[in-house]
A and B are shown apart, each in its own frame.
Chain A
Amino acid sequence: MTRLVLALLCAGCAAGGIPLDGTPPRKLSQLGLVTGFADGEVQYAEGVFPYTLNAPLFSDHAAKARGLWLPDGEAATYDPEAAFTFPLGTAIVKTFLLPADLRAPGDDLTIVETRVMILQEGGWSAWPYLWDARGRDARLTPGGAVLDASFVGVDGEDVSFSYLVPQRNQCQECHELRNAEGRREITPIGPKARHLNRADDDGDNQLAHMADLGLLDGLPDLSEVPTAVDWAAVEAEGVDALDDAQVETAARDYLDINCAHCHNPRGVNGETSQLWLNHDNTDAFRMGVCKRPGSAGKGGRGREFDIVPGDAEASILHYRMVTEDVGSMMPQLGRALTHTEGAAVVGRWIDAMEGPGCEAE
């Protein structure tokens, strides 16, 4: 009898507890991917591939741990630009941890939530799990949560803010592209060549490691693989240490990972704006240079153009990164606080653009 029940439970499962359709299990542990949280580290089951990204999305200073799981014997397919193509039953887990003190951001982390994306028969689906206060397990929380969060800032002052664990249906705000037929589809953002092309903690290239493990097909010679700027290095050395060329690269890569999930020609939630911040956009006007926004609502606060060359302060794009004003902030979801370093890089990039500004009305 017990055996029969188990068999029924796992009908339609790729492996472990990963369902190929419908709602995933109520507890994260039942997915068989994340086994716990100990010594400040997310613990994974065997077969989960932990990875990091060159330039990550800023999420109110939350630290993130990412893991990838592919069905046994299956591999992802390399793409030089888009997210890799994954086999049915793939799961991506991303865990958010809040630091107690930004002056020592790696210490004393509180585990908050784990977001799970599963490639099911109907396409990718995305699910939020909320960890219990003791960090023992996380519970499926489709309705999300708004948490009172706080930490000590870099200046030693307390910072308190509303931390958003997105609802299941809010995942699409960022994870949605229009496909070639014009239909909306959920898609991962991080697992792309340019973000994964970096050394892991052991000094091995992550993509080469994936290929060695049989998790990735079609990886070309690493010299042909694009790479985004290593944002952790930018923060470690300070924005002032960058020269102008480095600033441009860093700014474009920062905008790519933080904005281009919507602000690209296929981004469902950015299409109205006609503002394309993907790193490979070469159309300066569509990148915002002397472009009036279609509808910035209160977002502009009197500013007229997305980017005024040579004048970050007058640029809507920069303002919406800096402000914490509800109704004006970008990105729309997942940020309550300003990312000072990100805004500084983008500000320097705009300030370094050659004038003479834009022709005002």
Chain B
Amino acid sequence: MQRPSLLLALTTLAACADPDFPTNSCKKSEAASCVEFHADEVDALLEAVNLLEDDAEVILGAGTFLLDNQITFRNADGVRFAGQGIDETVLDFSGQPKPDSDDEGVQANGVDFVGAGFVIEDLTISDAKKDGLRVEDSDDVVIRRVKATWSGGPSSDNGAYGLYPVKSRRVLIEDSEAWNASDAGLYVGQCQHAVVRNSLAKQNVAGLEIENTQFAEVYGNTVEDNTGGLVVFDLPGNPIVGRDIYVHDNVVRDNNRPNFAPSGTVGVIPAGTGTFILASRRVEFSGNTYENNGTVDVAILSGLALESDETQWALESATLIGSMDGLDLPADGTQVFNYETSDIVIRDNVHTGGGTLVDAGNTDLEARQLGFLVDLLYGDEKVDSVLYDAIGESAYDADDPAGNSNDHHICLADLDGGTFASLDLETLAARFENLDFATTDDLFRPPAPFTPFDCDGFSGDPLVRPDVELSE
């Protein structure tokens, strides 16, 4: 442990500009309190972070900081934590395990923040034991030009999440990257008001994930070479009911990486899944480009396709967090249930390639059931670009358009290059149990305008856009 020496401070003052601080520096800062650290001053950095006061800035120089424990921010609000650029400043948590020891080091995240007001920018977080960046129960969070990665490439031994803001309010992720996470790369969960834009998710199990979140906008992102690309869903038992998610102008391509999750919910995603929307409501996907996702570009699924026991989806109304305005969820006494997927708009997306290599050619009935069923259904045929499981629909008929209901208000328009099918998943799964294998003849595959799924926009008010301050 050493404090920044007086000599060092004087040297810093005397020099016109420290070459290690070309982008961000205390000289450029207007904060009341600002401290700078070079890459070899890790102990001093950790000491300063643990004694931080409100509205302070911590600036890291260029280079690689070797760390054996997480950087933990608590007890201070309004913190800015900045490096010199996404590839210029690297926080390396790989640790140095002793020779002849299977000791893996301390079980910790990379950077871990709880508080109100956090800006983290211009750095890379590498090889965190758990999550790269975890921000929990916080307000007004900006994650800008931050990369989370694991240097050995995709592996089930990697940490779970790359950039992981959770249970937070007003979150912006921009110009950032997540690579090689064994769960989700870019994740926004249990948040209210979030924007994810102009970022990259690559080689993760789930690339970009919006989970149990209210009021999010996701645009300008590239999501490629993950197992599953850009996904929106609610998990059961969570007190925030997801809603009002606007996903537009993203590129979702080549998401065919064999699933490498060690376990957990994302372990059931078949490779080749561009997008799934599950247990969600008031979601729009428009203007996105889908390319070469081997299983399906967009799957619209009831939560019951993941967890068939409705009681698991029960939520006590009194414990719910956030807005329930205009949501008409199934209810029973004091409980509501969020398994339904409803009010979904899919329009103006471009679909090319894909649908010809379900689950990367390695389907597994036990591990990834939906991929197995899709593969069985389609055989050698190309899978339709957009699939709807029709769970909970009052009427389904593979042949007669008039025999299909659209109770859940699923709206499709202008699937450029794409096709659509709805499948009666519950019936097909039951037939499958009896070894009665369905084929594409059992699907309802209407051409454009996809009647009765030709509704125009949401059944209620327009989407509420996130209340997040943007720099442009």
Contacts and interface: CB of A to CB of B under 8 A. Distances in A.
A205 interface: no
A298 B262 contact: yes
A284 interface: no
B242 to A, nearest CB: 14
B104 A169 contact: no
A145 B235 CA distance: 37
B98 A298 contact: no
B167 interface: yes
The contact size tier of chain B is 35 or more
B167 A272 contact: yes
B106 A146 contact: yes
A160 B48 CA distance: 30
A164 interface: yes
A174 to B, nearest CB: 13
Given A143-B1, A292-B312, A169 B50 contact: yes
B107 A23 contact: no
Contacts of B137: 184, 268
Contacts of A299: 263
A297 interface: yes
B263 A143 contact: no
A301 B262 contact: yes
A361 to B, nearest CB: 7
B308 A361 contact: yes
Contacts of B130: 297, 326-327
Given A161-B103, A294-B238, A143 B43 contact: yes
B106 A164 contact: yes
Interface string B96-134: 001001011111100000100000000000000110000
A325 B159 CA distance: 12
A61 to B, nearest CB: 15
Nearest to A139: B1
Interface stretch (A62-70, A225-233, A253-261, A328-336): A328-336
A303 B267 CA distance: 12
Contacts of B95: 162
Interface string A280-318: 000000000000101111111111000000000000000
A301 B46 contact: no
Given A142-B47, A143-B49, A336-B103, A162 B68 contact: yes
Nearest to B369: A361
A76 B417 CA distance: 73
Nearest to B211: A295
A148 interface: yes
Contacts of B308: 361
A338 B72 CA distance: 25
B69 A144 contact: yes
A162 B67 CA distance: 13
Contact of B263 (A148, A167, A268, A300): A300
A168 B74 CA distance: 9
B68 A298 contact: no
Interface in B45-89: 45-51, 68-70, 72-75
A329 B108 CA distance: 11
A183 to B, nearest CB: 11
A139 B3 CA distance: 13
Contacts of A23: 51
B93 to A, nearest CB: 11
Nearest to A160: B101
Interface residues of A, number: 43
A272 B264 CA distance: 15
A303 B72 CA distance: 31
Contacts of A332: 107
B358 to A, nearest CB: 21
Could you say which of B183, B263, B265 has the most chain A C-beta atoms within 10 Å of its C-beta?
Answer: B263
B103 A298 contact: no
A143 B98 contact: no
B51 A167 contact: no
B208 interface: no
A326 B107 contact: yes
Contacts of B98: 148, 160
Contacts of A361: 307-308
A162 B105 contact: yes
Given A142-B51, A298-B262, A170 B129 contact: no
B264 A143 contact: no
Contacts of B265: 295
Nearest to B129: A326
B180 interface: no
Contact of A146 (B48, B69, B159): B69
Interface in A17-31: 23
A325 B182 CA distance: 15
B237 A294 contact: yes
Given A162-B105, A297-B183, A301-B263, A168 B160 contact: no
Could you say which of A143, A167, A172, A333 has the most chain B C-beta atoms within 10 Å of its C-beta?
Answer: A143
27 contacts: A23-B51, A142-B46, A143-B48, A146-B68, A146-B69, A161-B101, A161-B103, A162-B105, A164-B69, A167-B72, A168-B50, A168-B74, A169-B50, A169-B75, A172-B74, A172-B114, A272-B166, A274-B237, A294-B235, A296-B263, A297-B262, A298-B261, A299-B263, A300-B263, A326-B104, A326-B129, A336-B103
Interface of B: 1, 43, 45-51, 68-70, 72-75, 95, 98, 101, 103-108, 114, 129-130, 137, 156-157, 159-160, 166-167, 182-183, 190, 235, 237-238, 261-265, 307-308, 312
Interface of A: 23, 130, 139, 141-146, 148, 160-162, 164, 167-170, 172, 184, 268, 272, 274, 292, 294-303, 324-327, 329, 332-333, 336, 361
Given A272-B167, A298-B261, 7 more contacts: A143-B49, A167-B69, A295-B235, A295-B265, A300-B264, A302-B263, A326-B129
